[in-house]
Amino acid sequence: MANSTTSIVRAEEDHSAQARELIERAKGETAEGIVEALHLLQDLEERGVIPLLRALVEQGDDVLRVLLELFKRDQTVGGIKNVMALVEVFSAIPKDSMNTVLAGVAGGLEEASAAQPKDKFSVYGALQTLQDPDVSRALSFLTSFLKGMGRALGEERIGGVTE
């Protein structure tokens, strides 16, 4: 008759060998991605991002406490809301319109910075300036802008309450 089994001997699996095999297989399949990731890590190290992240992790609780205190302030919350509102407004403006306006602003700033300030500016001088085609074009744009703004304000009163 056979003897009964009193202990079970399990063969130990070599997890490190399996891990090495998986890594070798992954290296062959994603070598280009691994090289790009290493280049990215090197660039982050050269620019000081890695040491900064390391310091943030090491001082995590203190950094988090400072950030939370900063975000608790009413000014910060109001500022964040204002930025979000501005982003919403700017995202509603068609790209071509924004490019036209920004080009006009840049041209106006360039002209203004190059102009010599005058000691006196008379009413006659202002009327004479209005006859300049460039000034006329800018005033036409501004009056169109003001008309559209007035229409929008008429449709929705300040504070979001509609009439």
pLDDT, tens digit, 9 for 90 and up, residues 148-159: 888 888 887 755
Confidence of residue 8 (pLDDT cuts 50, 70, 90): low
pLDDT at 160: 57
Confidence of residue 67 (pLDDT cuts 50, 70, 90): confident
Question: Average model confidence (pLDDT) for the chain?
Answer: 83
pTM above the 0.75 mark? no
Neighbouring C-alpha atoms within 13 Å toward the C-beta of 161 = 2
What amino acid is encoded at 51 in this protein? P
Q: How far apart are CA 159 and CA 156, in angstroms?
A: 8
With residue 110 as reference, give the H or E element that holds it.
Answer: helix 95-114
What's the mean pLDDT in 76-83? 87
Residues sharing a CB contact under 8 Å with residue 154, sequence separation 6 or more, in sequence order: 163
Tokens at residue 106, please? 């840049």
pLDDT at 163: 47
45/11: higher pLDDT: 45
